[in-house]
Amino acid sequence: MSCLDEITLTGYADGEMADDDRAAVEHHLRGCTSCRDLLAALQRENSSLAQALQESPVAEVVRLPLPARLAVPARSDVREFGWGLAAAAALALAVGGNALERAISGRIDLAQSVATTVVLRSLIDGGFAVAQGGTAMLSSVQFAVIAIVVGLLFVAALRRVWQRRLLGSSLLVALAGALLLLPTAAQAIEERDGDVVTIAADEVVAGPIVLTGGEITVAGTVDSDVIAIGRRVVVSGTVRGNLFAAGKTVDVTGMVGGSQHIAAQSMSLGGEVAGNVYAAGQEVALRQGLRANRDAVTAGETITVDGSVGNDLTVFGNTATVTGQIGRDLDFHGDALRVNPGARVGRNVMAEVAAGDKFRVDDKAAVAGTRDFKVRIDDVEHDDDRPFVTLGFYSGLLLRLIAALVVALLLFVLAPALIAARPASGQPVLKQLGVGFLFLVATPVAAIILAITVIGLPLALASGVAYAIALYLAGIEVALAIGQLLVRDARRSFGPWALAALLGLLIVLIARALPIVGGVVTLLVLCWGLGLLYGQLSALYRAARLPAQPPSPA
């Protein structure tokens, strides 16, 4: 038998030889020194080659941080951040406008009386509509909100089941279940509804009560909160909790143990209030009989303050007339402020008015501190020819930036695979542009053809919606891709990733808003973005079809 060739011996050394071939080789090896030497040399080569290849050179052992989109601890920070944010938002809502309004009052100059009045009117009209619809409408709104929350919780729970996080998912399901039961619990709160709803003077209600209807009168005593929504609400009795009242007119003369939250077209507030007063409406009157022990925040067209406020009074409105007593600061944002003789202000008067002569503080008014005012500078008039000089243009840009950032963050948390693109990897940009252009043009055409067939109408509508969503996401895809080109390590952890996203979105938004070139930029962005999106989706599709396991050794 002639000597074995290197290919045969390599196969033998690599353990890649069928049994009978191996027997033949071993038979030959027993009698051939040179082949044994060659085999030994090949085995030495193999082992040193494997050693050289498998050892990681020091320079390469530099730890690669985990890619941000991997669902491992690095990302759970983001998730926990998200949950924390949601919890914080819920808490903020639960606590109510209290802290928020305090934060706004006097510190941020966003009080444009016209805008506030518009908001207030819609609020009042909305409240009024709810009142006219009665409890049926109230409970359907309540139901809708709860249904949405429950739905979201179930989706979150399903995701967790999918990730085999059983504890988390069962907790979420339990929470969702509890929320489903909540309406039943809510029904334990006493409700009264009708054209005329009255708590008589000799009546005492122990628990919280919801009153809806036309004429609502609270003459008796409620030991807890009162929610009253009606055309006309009169509270002359005692409310030991908070009073929430909305209606066309609201008239309060009774005592309130908590805070007053009033929204009405016109209101007249008196009586003693242990907490704060929040009053918003067209005409707001804090009557002489009012004794608010803490702060009062009011917003409206015409505001009259004759009563007394223990701490600060903050007013957003067109015109305000103050004759009463303010324990500490009087803070006004609007057109005109008038402080009459007899008024007393414990500390400073600060006002933002439309013109210098609209700030009138009578010399006979007692102001312990300073009397300052500044003239409000109105927004630059909206000018279609020069959108870049209007404030609205920039605030619109900012809003869109925030919205896009929120969407990008949602994608990061919910669908990380969709935003994995980096232009440096995968298909070349030109190809992506081409694919994107194809989608950009072909989708509407296909949708129209589908629509013509009538039977395909639902499909056409669905593809239209998907098209709109894809166009929006396309911009975000491009922004993320650009951001990741600019920020080093953008894919390694959340911080740099978010920075990259912000940068990219800013660049894309500004470029698309540029005059003349903006249109071309938008077209390019949409094409490229759709191409990227297509790349991501097809990569996902391929990943889903990844073989169960690569073929195992024979």
Rounded to the nearest whole angstrom, what is the least distance from the CB of residue 500 to another protein in the complex? 15
Token pair for 149:
């929350």
Token pair for 195:
């054209």
Contact between 553 and another protein per CB under 8 A: yes
Token pair for 62:
């530099």
CB closer to another protein out of 73 and 515 = 73
Token pair for 468:
């709109």
Return d(Cα 261, Cα 275) in angstroms, integer.
10
Contact between 46 and another protein per CB under 8 A: yes
List binders of another protein among 279-318 (CB under 8 A).
none
Return d(Cα 510, Cα 39) in angstroms, integer.
68
Contact between 548 and another protein per CB under 8 A: yes
Residue type, 120: L
Rounded to the nearest whole angstrom, what is the least distance from the CB of residue 439 to another protein in the complex? 20
CB closer to another protein out of 61 and 188 = 61
Token pair for 268:
């007249």
Rounded to the nearest whole angstrom, what is the least distance from the CB of residue 35 to another protein in the complex? 11
Q: What is the DSSP string of 273-299?
A: ESS-EEEEEEEEEE-TT-EESS-EEEE
Rounded to the nearest whole angstrom, what is the least distance from the CB of residue 161 to another protein in the complex? 10
CB closer to another protein out of 58 and 136 = 58
Q: Which of 84, 93, 140, 163 is in the footprint of another protein by CB under 8 A?
A: 163
Burial readout 142-156 (b: 16 or more C-beta within 10 A, e: otherwise)? eeeebeebbeebeeb
Q: What is the DSSP string of 516-527?
A: THHHHHHHHHHH
Return d(Cα 194, Cα 214) in angstroms, integer.
7
CB closer to another protein out of 420 and 511 = 420
Cβ atoms < 10 Å from Cβ of 184: 8
Rounded to the nearest whole angstrom, what is the least distance from the CB of residue 491 to another protein in the complex? 7
List binders of another protein among 61-90 (CB under 8 A).
61, 63-64, 66-67, 69-76
CB closer to another protein out of 10 and 242 = 10
CB closer to another protein out of 8 and 139 = 8
Return d(Cα 129, Cα 183) in angstroms, integer.
22
List binders of another protein among 407-446 (CB under 8 A).
417, 420, 422, 424-427
HSE, side-chain direction, 13 A CA sphere, residue 14 = 12
Residues that bind another protein (CB under 8 A): 6-7, 10-11, 14, 16, 37-38, 41-42, 44-46, 48-57, 60-61, 63-64, 66-67, 69-76, 163-165, 417, 420, 422, 424-427, 491, 542-543, 546, 548-554
